[in-house]
Amino acid sequence: MQLPKLIKKKECYRLSWLSKLIILFIFFSLFLHIRNNLYNYLSPIKPVNSRTLVVEGWLEDYALEEAYKLFIEKDYARIITTGGPLNQGYLVTKYKTTADIAKATFLELGMDSTKIFVAPSELFLQERTYQSAVSLRNYI
């Protein structure tokens, strides 16, 4: 009686070290290309002709400073800040929303108070940008 064969010899093709290096180079180049150009694809800048600049109040101070510089540079007529209620700290400050804090920041930077308008949101659920857009639409 003969036992069944448990091992079978087969010839196969494998990639050489040079072909592996070429494939690695191609993937790395593709990764760098995507990484360097993804921001331009995901956040295109398409300004519209308007005399109003809208800024979300939850932005960091450096971004609000940049918005102020843009306001001066592009000669906007007014700025509208949007934002929802504060999660904490509203009991010890006079500001109730991030829109109010953004307005105070712009005033501190030297902006004329007659050019700043506030469109606060009632509540923030999950989509703060959407809620800010809705409050801006209602304000306008």
Mean pLDDT, residues 125-140 taken together: 84
Residues 62 and 112 in one domain: yes
Q: Burial level of 92, CB count in 10 A (0-12/13-18/19+)?
A: exposed
Find the domain containing 39 and state its range: 14-46
Task: Tell me the pLDDT of the chain averaged across its residues.
Answer: 88
User: Is 101 a member of any domain?
Assistant: yes
Residues 42 and 56 in one domain: no
User: Is 6 a member of any domain?
Assistant: no
pTM exceeds 0.75, yes or no: no
Backbone conformation region of residue 89, classed left if phi is above 0, alpha if psi is from -120 to 50, else beta:
left
Mean pLDDT, residues 84-105 taken together: 86
